[in-house]
Amino acid sequence: MFKRRGIMLILSSPSGAGKTSISRTIMQQDDNIKLSVSVTTRPKRANEVDGVDYHFRSVDDFKHLVERGEMLEWAEVHGNYYGTPKAQIQDQLEAGTDVLFDIDYQGALQLYENCADDIVGIFVLPPSIKELKHRLERRADDNAEVINRRLKTARKELKAWEKYDYIIVNNDLGESCKTVSEIISAARIHSSRQADLPQFIKGLQEELESIIE
Ligand code: 5GP
């Protein structure tokens, strides 16, 4: 109803907890959310498209982007670099478009430090570590060494949960997506985001005064 600023929606989780499936579903369901496409030095997986899933770059190119101040945040995750390019994000937020960030806890902390008022942060947990390992193995994109490295990283990731606004245990993808949608709906009507609200309230107050005898 009111003009509003976009939300920086952060989704983080240990690798394999289902955050990427959730973010894909949310993107399909909601036209007002744009995905922030990260830059990474990780090798492209068979099912991934450059410029859609990630911008795949060399380590040198990545370092240049950081040096030129073109990253909103960046981190080393599982031995590769990942970062969020600054371009367009502020414009999208000002235009009222919500932006989804599928990033790790180190990146989320950087964004919480610099853009706290715009953020809604959701941390997705697996129902169990056994299930997390199964999901990583089922994905079949990564070899045993990579899977083990991802599980080691999960030790640190699990400690970061307190920084986030919301925690979801991903037992069921459909249920988790529904919960994320509900969080987004609530965030959109938060009083702090509705730029025209003071004006609207003033109008209501004036109307009220005009009819009270
Ligand atoms: P994957 O290699 O499985 O696509 O991603 C590995 C991890 O890197 C995930 O936790 C993902 O959320 C995180 N990641 C992806 N893009 C970014 C980014 O731009 N910044 C940060 N800090 N982490 C990212």
- What are the tens digits of pLDDT across the range 43-77? 998 889 999 999 999 999 999 999 999 999 999 99
Q: Which amino acid is at 99?
A: V
Q: Which amino acid is at 106?
A: Q
Q: CB-based burial of residue 18 (10 Å sphere; 0-12 exposed, 13-18 middle, 19+ buried)?
A: buried
Q: Is 161 helix (H, G, I), strand (E, B) or coil?
A: helix
Is 141 inside a domain boundary?
yes
Q: Which residues line ligand 1 (CB under 6 A)?
A: 15, 38, 42, 73, 75, 77-78, 82-84, 102-104, 106-107
Structurally, the chain folds into a number of domains equal to 1
> pTM for the complete prediction?
0.92
Ligand 1: which residue has its CA nearest to atom 20?
83
CATH number reported for the structural domain that contains residue 90 in this entry: 3.40.50.300
| DSSP, residue by residue, 29-95 | H-TTEEE-PPEE-SPPPTT--BTTTBEE--HHHHHHHHHTT-EEEEEEETTEEEEEE-TTHHHHHHT
Is 165 inside a domain boundary?
yes
Beta-bridged to residue 9, according to DSSP, are: 100, 120
Is 172 inside a domain boundary?
yes
Contact 176, 124 (CB under 8 A): yes
Domain containing 188: what range?
8-211
Is 2 inside a domain boundary?
no
Is 1 inside a domain boundary?
no
Rounded distance from Cα 103 to ligand 1 centre (Å) = 5
- What are the tens digits of pLDDT across the range 113-157? 999 999 999 999 999 999 999 998 887 667 888 889 989 999 999
Rounded distance from Cα 202 to ligand 1 centre (Å) = 44
With the most atoms of ligand 1 within 8 angstroms of its CB, the residue from 11, 20, 38, 41 to mutate is 38
CA nearest 42: which of 78, 87, 96? 78
Atom of ligand 1 nearest to the CA of 83: 19
Q: Which amino acid is at 27?
A: M
Is 139 inside a domain boundary?
yes
Ligand 1: which residue has its CA nearest to atom 3?
15
Residue 88 has pLDDT above 90, yes or no: no
Is 200 inside a domain boundary?
yes
With the most atoms of ligand 1 within 8 angstroms of its CB, the residue from 13, 37, 41, 103 to mutate is 103
Instruction: Give the per-residue pLDDT at 95.
Output: 92
Is 181 inside a domain boundary?
yes
Rounded distance from Cα 177 to ligand 1 centre (Å) = 19
